[in-house]
């Protein structure tokens, strides 16, 4: 495929515009700063610059421990007062505004108008498809979803998928760029409502709510069942390869033949339960008990330290191609 005029090669990107610096956008800014990019951020929200600075204060020690690329520095972050200033000179744009479809449509159209021709624009949306967000863009061929997992500065996964009018070269470019920044790319051939990772999380979440609502399990028991059970295996192999091992020497074939009938058992209830006030309060109280008095900031720091340990350990033990 021919790269559109004005679009840099993925490994020639030097300046990234981060539009929206909440939890996700701020996490993206931290990720790109760790890699030595110049980052220009814009967010019209109150004290957005201060909130981003606080996020970087919390995240930077983990990024230092994980390893900074040459040239990485917080001093390479610049906060723009206007969207057009953030986009001027950007080689790539990562949009991470709130999940409101009408607002996304208007913002992406404005980015399309202001960003240099050919520059790839990726959205961090966690639920919308690019086909429904880029409807007012003049050049929708350069828009793609780059959906991360929180926190983006540590979790490698990014789901990449274009809309009906996204050019195939744009998707390929985004995959090459994200891969060069250390991301593990899940590049999809078609749009999936809610994306792959979110849908799997949602299935687990709904079943957890059912068990709390019915009194079958407490919040603590549910979290312990994953933390000390399948979560440890999933961190390395994922649910399908884990089940492949469950079949012993016969692998997945034996597992399906032996356990397949259990799929007909009414073990899970994937329809969401009614989120009553009583259920909501019970889950909130249970989560507070599990937190054990630690603040969200303290839990984030502990999570980040754990994830760095886990990422380094996984890199040592992961299955290699070939």
Sheet architecture: strand order including 120-123: 77-79, 38-42, 15-19, 92-95, 120-123, 143-148, 157-162, 184-187
C-alpha to C-alpha distance for 209 and 279, rounded to whole angstroms: 8
Domains 10-187 and 196-291 belong to one CATH topology? no
Q: pLDDT tens for residues 27-78? A: 999 999 999 999 999 999 999 999 999 999 999 999 999 999 999 999 999 9
- Cα distances from 160 to residues 63, 129, 187, 236, 256, in angstroms, run 24, 11, 5, 21, 31
Is the pLDDT higher at 150 or at 271?
Answer: 150
Its pTM surpasses 0.75: yes
C-alpha to C-alpha distance for 192 and 286, rounded to whole angstroms: 32
Cβ proximity of 97 and 107 under 8 Å: yes
Domain formed by 10-187, architecture:
3-Layer(aba) Sandwich (3.40)
Domain formed by 196-291, architecture:
Orthogonal Bundle (1.10)
Q: pLDDT tens for residues 114-142? A: 999 999 999 999 999 999 999 999 999 99
DSSP state of 76: G
**Domain spans, the chain:** 10-187, 196-291
Helix, strand, coil fractions of the chain, as percent rounded to 5: 55, 10, 35
Cβ proximity of 107 and 29 under 8 Å: no
- Within the chain, how many helices (H) and strands (E) appear? 13, 8
Residue where the block lists tokens 């009018």: 165
Element (H, E) at 196: helix 196-214
CB atoms within 10 A of CB 165: 16
C-alpha to C-alpha distance for 65 and 35, rounded to whole angstroms: 13
Least confident of 136-145, 271-280, 308-317: 271-280
Average pLDDT over residues 170-195: 95
Number of residues in the chain: 322
Percent of the chain with pLDDT over 90: 65
Facing residues of 146 across strands?
160
C-alpha to C-alpha distance for 36 and 57, rounded to whole angstroms: 17
Buried b (16+ CB within 10 A) or exposed e, 190-220: ebeeebebbeeeeeeeebbbbbbbeeebebe
């Amino acid at each position: 495929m021919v790269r559109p005029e004005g679009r840099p090669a993925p490994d020639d990107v030097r300046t990234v515009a981060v539009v929206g610096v909440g939890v996700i956008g701020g996490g993206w800014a931290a990720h790109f700063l760790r890699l030595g990019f110049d980052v220009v951020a814009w967010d019209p929200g109150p004290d957005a610059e201060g909130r981003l600075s606080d996020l970087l204060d919390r995240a930077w020690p983990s990024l230092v421990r994980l390893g900074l690329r040459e040239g990485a520095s917080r001093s390479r972050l610049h906060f723009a007062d206007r969207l057009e200033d953030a986009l001027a000179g950007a080689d790539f744009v990562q949009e991470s505004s709130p999940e409101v479809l009408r607002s996304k449509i208007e913002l992406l159209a404005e980015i399309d108008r202001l960003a240099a021709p050919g520059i790839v624009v990726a959205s961090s949306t966690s639920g919308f498809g690019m086909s429904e967000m880029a409807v007012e863009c003049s050049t929708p061929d350069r828009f793609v979803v780059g959906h991360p997992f929180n926190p983006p500065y540590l979790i490698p996964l990014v789901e990449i998928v274009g809309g009906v009018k996204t050019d195939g070269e744009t998707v390929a470019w985004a995959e090459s760029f994200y891969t060069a920044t250390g991301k593990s790319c899940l590049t999809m051939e078609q749009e999936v409502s809610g994306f792959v990772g979110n849908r799997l999380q949602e299935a687990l979440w709904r079943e957890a709510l059912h068990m709390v609502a019915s009194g079958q399990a407490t919040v603590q028991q549910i979290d312990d069942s994953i933390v000390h059970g399948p979560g440890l295996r999933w961190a390395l192999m994922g649910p399908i390869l884990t089940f492949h091992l469950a079949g012993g020497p016969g692998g997945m074939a034996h597992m399906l033949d032996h356990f397949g009938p259990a799929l007909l058992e009414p073990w899970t209830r994937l329809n969401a339960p009614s989120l009553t006030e009583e259920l909501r309060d019970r889950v909130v109280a249970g989560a507070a008990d599990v937190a054990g008095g630690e603040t969200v900031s303290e839990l984030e720091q502990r999570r980040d330290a754990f994830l760095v340990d886990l990422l380094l350990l996984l890199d040592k033990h992961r299955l290699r191609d070939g």
